[in-house]
C-alpha cells in the first residue's frame, strides 16, 4: 500500500499520477486566486463564500501531506526536505493560528512542475557545478553589506540622525546601494559619505558581475555537453 501511494504521488509518466498532480496544482492555483479576491473591496459581498473555499485546500492538502509522509521510504528525510517543509508551513495557519500569509508559500510548489521538463536538469547541474563559488560570494556580499552599513553610519549619523539611526537601519541603505537600486529614501550628504558610497558602489558592481559570469560560464559548459 505504501509503495502504491508513493508511486502515484511521485511518478512522472503514469496517467493517474499526472492526474493527481493536475488536481493538486489546480487547487493551489484556485486558492491563490481566491486569496487575491478576498483582498478586493468589490468582492466584500462574497467574502463568506470565498472563505468557505478554504475548507477544500485544507482537506486536500492535509490528506496529501499525511499520505506523503506515510508512503515515503524515508519519512524523516521527506519531512525535513525542502518540499516537505513547504507543505508543512503552508498548513500552519490552518492548525496552529500562524499568520495567514504563510499559506501563500504553497505557490512555490509550482516550481516542482520543472520535474516534467528535462532541460531543468541542465539548470540544476549548472548551479550545482558552481555552488561553492556562489556560497563564497554570498558570504562576501553579507560581509560587504555590514561594512557598508557601519561606514555610512559613522559618516552620516551625526548629520542625519533620523535617517541613519543605527547600523541596522543603515543595512537598508547598504542593500539599496549594493544592488544599485537606490530608492532615494536614504542618501549621503557629507563629503566623506559620498566618497565612501562611491567606493562601495564600484565594489558592489564587481561583486554582482563575478557571480553572473560564473553562472553564464556554467550554463555554456552544460549546454555544450
Cα 21-23-24 angle, rounded to 5 deg: 65
Q: What is the pLDDT of residues 120-166, one digit of tens each?
A: 777 777 778 888 888 888 888 899 999 999 999 999 999 999 989 99
Q: Based on the domain organization, do 57 and 136 belong to the same domain?
A: no
Please enumerate in sequence order all residues whose Cβ is within 8 A of that of 17, keeping only pairs 6 or more positions apart, or say none. Answer: 7, 8, 9, 10, 11
Residue 99 confidence (pLDDT): 80
Residue 79 banded pLDDT, cuts 50, 70, 90 = very high
Residue 140 lies in a domain: yes
Q: Based on the domain organization, do 88 and 31 belong to the same domain?
A: yes
Q: Based on the domain organization, do 139 and 193 belong to the same domain?
A: yes
For the whole prediction, is pTM greater than 0.85? no
Residue 71 banded pLDDT, cuts 50, 70, 90 = very high
Q: Based on the domain organization, do 136 and 189 belong to the same domain?
A: yes
Which of 94, 116, 138 lies at the terminal end of a domain, its last residue? Answer: 116
Which of 95, 116, 137 lies at the terminal end of a domain, its last residue? Answer: 116
Domains identified in the chain, total number: 2
Residue 122 lies in a domain: no
Q: Based on the domain organization, do 152 and 215 belong to the same domain?
A: yes
Which of 87, 116, 145 lies at the terminal end of a domain, its last residue? Answer: 116
Structural domain of residue 40, as residue ranges? 2-116
Residue 171 confidence (pLDDT): 93
End-to-end Cα spacing for the chain: 41
Q: Based on the domain organization, do 201 and 133 belong to the same domain?
A: yes
From 69-83, 113-127, 167-181, the region with the lowest mean pLDDT: 113-127
Q: What CATH number corresponds to the domain at position 139?
A: 1.10.287.70
Alpha-carbon gap, residue 39 to 55, rounded angstroms: 18
Q: What CATH number corresponds to the domain at position 73?
A: 1.20.120.350
Alpha-carbon gap, residue 169 to 149, rounded angstroms: 8
Residue 121 lies in a domain: no
Q: Which three cell numbers mark 75? A: 519519512
Residue 193 banded pLDDT, cuts 50, 70, 90 = very high
Top mean-pLDDT range of 62-71, 92-101, 197-206:
62-71
Q: Based on the domain organization, do 22 and 69 belong to the same domain?
A: yes
Residue 188 banded pLDDT, cuts 50, 70, 90 = very high
From 55-69, 91-105, 108-122, 181-195, the region with the lowest mean pLDDT: 108-122
Q: Based on the domain organization, do 135 and 168 belong to the same domain?
A: yes
Report whether pLDDT(95) > 90.
no
Q: Based on the domain organization, do 10 and 111 belong to the same domain?
A: yes
Amino acid at each position: 500500500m505504501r509503495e502504491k501511494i508513493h508511486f502515484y504521488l511521485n511518478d512522472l509518466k503514469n496517467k493517474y499520477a499526472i492526474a493527481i498532480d493536475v488536481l493538486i496544482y489546480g487547487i493551489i492555483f484556485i486558492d491563490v486566486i481566491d486569496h487575491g479576491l478576498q483582498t478586493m473591496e468589490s468582492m466584500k459581498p462574497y467574502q463568506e463564500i470565498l472563505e468557505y473555499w478554504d475548507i477544500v485546500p485544507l482537506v486536500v492538502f492535509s490528506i496529501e501531506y499525511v499520505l506523503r509522509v506515510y508512503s515515503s521510504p524515508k519519512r524523516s528525510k521527506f519531512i525535513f526536505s525542502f518540499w516537505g517543509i513547504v507543505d508543512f508551513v503552508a498548513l500552519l495557519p490552518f492548525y496552529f493560528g500562524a499568520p495567514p500569509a504563510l499559506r501563500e508559500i504553497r505557490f512555490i510548489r509550482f516550481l516542482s512542475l520543472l520535474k516534467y521538463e528535462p532541460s531543468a536538469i541542465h539548470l540544476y547541474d549548472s548551479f550545482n557545478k558552481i555552488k561553492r563559488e556562489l556560497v563564497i560570494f554570498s558570504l562576501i556580499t553579507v560581509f560587504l553589506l555590514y561594512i557598508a552599513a557601519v561606514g555610512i553610519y559613522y559618516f552620516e549619523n551625526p548629520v542625519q540622525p533620523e535617517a541613519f539611526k543605527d547600523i541596522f537601519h543603515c543595512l537598508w541603505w547598504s542593500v539599496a546601494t549594493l544592488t544599485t537600486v537606490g530608492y532615494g529614501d536614504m542618501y549621503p550628504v557629507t563629503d566623506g559619505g559620498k566618497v565612501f558610497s562611491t567606493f562601495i558602489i564600484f565594489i558592489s558592481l564587481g561583486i554582482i558581475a563575478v557571480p553572473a559570469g560564473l553562472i553564464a560560464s556554467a550554463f555554456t559548459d552544460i549546454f555544450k555537453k
